Structure 1
Amino acid sequence: MNDKLDALRDALPRLVEGLEITLQLTLGGAALAFLISVAFGLLSISPVGPLRWLATIVVEFFRGTSLVVQLFWLYYVLPLFGVSMDAVWTGILALGLNYGAYGAEVVRGSINAVDKGQWEGATALNMSSLTRMRRVIWPQAWALMLSGYNNLLIMLIKGTAVALFIGLQDLTYQISELRLSTGTVFAFSVGLLIYYLFALVFSKGLRVLEKRAFRRLGITPRSSHAGAGAAL
């Protein structure tokens, strides 16, 4: 056991380097996924038919194809057409597109979950579509969608491990290297613990945001789905 702990101590600098790459992929992928999810989530409820159809096609395409295949296509196929990117940016783009498509459904579903009375009340106050969305609908939908975003963020963190396939020495890669000197059980147990703690920090952060969002609406998370419609 002492030999394994010594090997772990020696590997710490490399594990930190791998964790930094995983963090870059997580933050970059999450930021891009958020932007894509909001854009296509709003387009999916647009009254303009072609925009709504475009959003549906894009979302279903990226939800219906493998993240690994998307990553390979971006990294290995695009260069054949003269378009090449750094491996980290390729990973961020693949994660953002894939999880952004799932996030678009979270946005669409959360907006549609806002009580119809809220829409009607804002319309009766002669609010424009933009004002109605910004001041009435979005704050309530935002509180509802944070739980879905939390789940997607955890999935995205785990999804960063696919970066191993394009040569990035992320946390998963470093854990695999650690296995050579400590054995499979010890190395991957360490990996499980690190990923768990890593995901836990982000999950707790989003839960804090969720509680704050509901507090601003004057309701509690437990009654969010029932009470969001009464917030106006």
Structure 2
Amino acid sequence: MKNILYLTTIILTLYSCKQQSKWEPKEFSLKVCDCFEKLNQGTIDERLTPCFLSPINENIGLIHTTFYSKKTTEDALYQYTMSVTIELVRNCDKFYNEINSMYSEFYPKTDFDSVQESIIELTDSITSNNIPDLIKIKLLNKRISLYTKARKFENALNDIKIMSSEFGNVKETHFVSAYIYMSQKEYEKALEQIDLAIKYDNPDYILYKELIKRRKKSR
């Protein structure tokens, strides 16, 4: 009888370990990738739902207790989905290609002639006397965005230098700087800036860091 109980315990333990293993972020990401690569219809969100979001939502209790028992359910869901997404960026070609394409158009390419008048108006406002600092920062950010969309990267970087010299560390500039350097294939500079964006602005930008790292690796 003792031997049977011992054997049953071993079997249950092995089954539990197997269940836990298949939900490890890296292991689960392989299944998500395989599913995602087979789907060609719908938006990226629509295709990710059956492959990624639905399975997680249906098993969040198991994921929570197995990997993040000390976190709230909400924090566990966030941490797990972020971990899986990072694995997808690193190792799933189709997912990476689509996300990378979306990132490339984060600042949609615009003809300079279509924004030139707006840039002139912004410049007049920026150089006017007695403009409050917060307003000037806001206007400079708008001009940086327009220059970036028009692919006038050096103009945008010059504005960022102006902001840095006048106002110190303006957190919003790090993300656009990373985007510009990534577009120019200056990946080390892009990674330096995205690290600052993660630190000062938004920790979710780690996904963009993974994109830049993979771009650098595949150049």
TM-score > 0.5 by shorter chain: no
Higher relative contact order (CA 8 A, sep 6+): 1
CA radius of gyration, larger in: 2
Instruction: Give me the TM-score of the superposition, normalised by structure 2.
Output: 0.25
Instruction: Give me the TM-score of the superposition, normalised by structure 1.
Output: 0.24
Give the structure with the larger helix fraction.
1
